[in-house]
Amino acid sequence: MRKAFIFIAVILMIVVVITSCSKSGSDNNTNVCDGVTNKTFATDVNPIIQSFCNQAACHNPGSTNGPGALTNYAEVFNARTAIRGQVQAGLMPQNAILTTAQKNTIICWIDSGAPNN
């Protein structure tokens, strides 16, 4: 019985070590920008933001939800850190699901300095 207990304890410790060494959070998307090139605010990012985020009761003009309104470049730029975290975690948008390509577009644009282009 004691040997079985020790064996189970060792197995559990191995599982804990393996799972604690796995990638988590932002590390999961370390390479999402590989192959994603030159995403622009006007052509690539803003259409996603306006279609999914700038909605009534979300981030439309006058909104106080989260970072507030997301109606123009300045507002999106100022909220970029929050946007990145929420998009990466799959928490936003609340009433829709972004495709992997849409998520990567937003994340890679932010990671490239969120230029006004």
Q: What is the pLDDT of residue 20?
A: 40
Overall domain count for the chain: 1
Q: Classify residue 89: in a domain, yes or no.
A: yes
Burial of 68 (0-12, 13-18, 19+ CB in 10 A): middle
- Pair 88, 80: CB distance under 8 Å: no
Q: Classify residue 24: in a domain, yes or no.
A: no
The range of the structural domain enclosing residue 104 comes to: 31-117
Q: What pLDDT tens digit does each residue of the chain (117 aa) get?
A: 666 556 565 555 554 444 443 334 444 445 678 777 788 999 999 999 999 998 888 898 888 888 999 999 999 999 999 999 999 999 999 889 999 999 999 999 999 999 999
**Rounded Cα–Cα distance for residues 103 and 87 (Å):** 6
Q: Classify residue 71: in a domain, yes or no.
A: yes
Q: What is the pLDDT of residue 57?
A: 84
Q: Classify residue 6: in a domain, yes or no.
A: no
Q: What is the pLDDT of residue 63?
A: 85
